[in-house]
């Protein structure tokens, strides 16, 4: 898909599956979700980490889940923005009471196989926005 434009429908499905993988705590089910949306050679980077490949992404998500409440989910918070093979979107990690724990903005690139090839993620706690920048 790198040479042709990604449709909004394809982008929506990939992002939905990707966010669902971040929420799924059952290892086998999470792996199946990742296999649908994550390229074998894909890269994920944030200000704290850089992972390469399907196995590393699966392990990274599992490690992240151990640091968050059991009953929370990652939800999209805006319409997707699609341009060629690039997609951007925002999301929130929400606990079972509806409290936003973390907010993020991701930029993704869709690879030739129609899966995510690269994701760059920017995330932070919502209350950090209220603090002055020093």
- Show me where the domains of the chain are located: 8-130
Domain covering 8-130 in this structure, CATH number: 3.10.450.50
Question: 132 vs 3, 25, 127, 128, 129, CA distance in Å?
Answer: 43, 36, 11, 9, 8
Q: Which residue has the higher pLDDT, 109 or 126?
A: 109
pLDDT in tens, 71-109: 788 888 888 999 999 999 999 999 888 889 889 999 999
- Note the pLDDT of residue 1: 44
Q: Contact, 62 vs 27, CB < 8 A? A: yes
Phi, psi of 9 (to 5 degrees): -65, -45
Label residue 122 left, alpha or beta by phi (over 0 means left) and psi (-120 to 50 means alpha).
beta
**124 pLDDT band (50/70/90 cuts)?**
confident
pLDDT in tens, 2-38: 456 788 999 999 999 999 999 999 999 999 999 999 9
- Note the pLDDT of residue 29: 98
Mind giving me the DSSP string for 25-93? -SHHHHHHHHHHHEEEEEEEE-SS-EEESHHHHHHHHHHHHTTS-SSEEEEE-S--EEETTEEEEEEEE
Whole-prediction pTM: 0.86
């Amino acid at each position: 898909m790198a040479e042709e434009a990604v449709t909004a429908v394809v982008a929506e499905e990939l992002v939905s599956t990707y966010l669902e993988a971040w929420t799924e705590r059952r290892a086998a089910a999470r792996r199946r979700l990742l296999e649908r949306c994550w390229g074998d050679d894909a890269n994920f980077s944030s200000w704290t980490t850089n992972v390469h490949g399907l196995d590393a992404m699966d392990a990274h998500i599992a490690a992240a889940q151990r640091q968050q409440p059991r009953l929370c989910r990652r939800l999209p918070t805006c319409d997707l923005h699609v341009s060629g093979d690039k997609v951007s979107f925002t999301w929130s990690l929400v606990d079972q009471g509806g409290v936003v724990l973390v907010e993020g903005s991701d930029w993704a690139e869709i690879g030739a196989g129609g899966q995510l090839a690269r994701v760059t993620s920017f995330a932070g706690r919502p209350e950090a926005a209220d603090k002055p920048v020093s």
